[in-house]
């Protein structure tokens, strides 16, 4: 499990924001979706999902409402706030830059070895 879920610091927040951006969704569904979309590469330790959700809610990046699910029970649905959307855009952009930069460096060192 450790090898699969070793997310870089702060990445979990970014992923959560991205998933929630698609529409109101509850905690369990977020965990499921993260796992499905990443084809099981990213397995969120469920224990740290909820603290992360609450932290994002406190920072005003997420808002939450209690709504009925299709099964008729009440569940806590998270949605992105305007502030959250801005944060998501900023963070995805910087993540993009970072990964490109890391890729460049990796490629360069390959070239150096040849």
Partner 1 sequence: MTWWHRLLRRNQMEAQLDKELQWHLDQHAADLVARGHAPEEAGRLARRALGGPEQVKEECRDARGTRWVENLWQDFRYALRTLRQRPGFAAVALLTLALGTGATTVMFTVINGVLLKPLPYPDPDRLVSLQEQTEKATQWGNLWAFTYPNYLDCKRESRSLDMATWRYDGGIVSKPGAAEYVEGAQISSELFSILGVSISQGRAFLPEEDRPGAPPVAIVSDGLWKRRFGASLAAIGAALVFDGKTYTVVGITPAGFGLSDFEPDVFTPIGQITEPYMHDREAHFGFRVWARLRPGATLARARAELAVVGRQLAGQYPKSNAGRTFIGDPLRPDVGDVRSTLWLLLGAVTLVLLIACVNIASLLLARAASRERELAMRVALGASRGRLARQCLTESAVLGLSGGLFGILLATVGMRPFVALWPGTLPRAEGVRLDWHVLLFALAVSLASGLLFGLAPALRAPARELERALHAGSRSVAGSSRRLHAGFVVSEIALAVVLLVSAGMLGRTLLHLSSLDPGVNIHNILTARTALSPDTLASAARTRAAWQDILDRARRVPGVQSVTIVDTVPMREGNNQIGYWTTPAEPPADQQQLTSATSVTPDYLKVVGTPLRQGRFFTDQDRLGAEGVVVIDEVMAQQAFAGKEPIGQHLWIGMGSDPMRVVGVVGHVRYWGAADDDRTKVRAQLYYPFAQVPDNYLRRWSELMSIAVRTSVPPLQVVEPLRREVRGATGDQVLYEVRTMEQLAGDTLARQRFLLVLFGIFAGLALLLACIGIYGVQAYLTSRRVPEIGVRMALGATPHGVQWMVLRESLGMLAAGVAVGVTGALAAARLLVRLVDGMQTGGPATFALTLSVLVAAALFASFLPARRASRIDPMRALRQE
Comparing CB distances to partner 1, the nearer of 26 and 87 is: 26
**Which C-beta is closer to partner 1: that of 54 or that of 97?**
54
| Residue 47 C-beta: closest distance to partner 1, Å | 3
CB of 46 or CB of 94, closer to partner 1: 46
Distance between CA atoms of residues 104 and 85, nearest Å? 28
Spatial distance between the Cα atoms of 57 and 55, rounded to a whole number of angstroms: 5
CA distance 105 to 92: 20
Distance CA 109, CA 42 (A): 27
Note the residues at the interface with partner 1 (CB under 8 A). Answer: 26-28, 31-32, 45-48, 50-52, 54-55, 58, 66, 73-76
Closer to partner 1 at the Cβ: 39 or 109? Answer: 39
Nearest distance in Å: CB 50, partner 1: 5
Q: Rounded to the nearest whole angstrom, what is the least distance from the CB of residue 4 to partner 1 in the complex?
A: 13
**Strand (E) or helix (H) holding 107:** helix 82-113
Is 13 in a helix, a strand, or coil?
Answer: helix
Minimum separation from the CB atom of position 62 to partner 1 (A): 12
- Report the distance separating Cα 48 and Cα 52, nearest Å: 6
């Amino acid at each position: 499990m450790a090898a699969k879920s070793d997310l870089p610091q702060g990445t979990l927040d970014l992923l959560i924001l991205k998933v929630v951006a698609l529409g109101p969704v509850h905690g369990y569904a977020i965990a499921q979706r993260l796992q499905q979309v990443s084809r099981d590469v990213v397995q969120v330790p469920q224990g740290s999902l909820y603290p992360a959700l609450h932290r994002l809610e406190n920072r005003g990046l997420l808002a939450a409402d209690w709504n009925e699910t299709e099964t008729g029970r009440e569940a806590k649905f998270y949605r992105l706030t305007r502030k959250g959307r801005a944060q998501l855009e900023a963070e995805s952009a910087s993540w993009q830059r970072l990964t490109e930069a890391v890729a460049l460096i990796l490629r360069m060192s390959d070239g150096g070895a040849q």
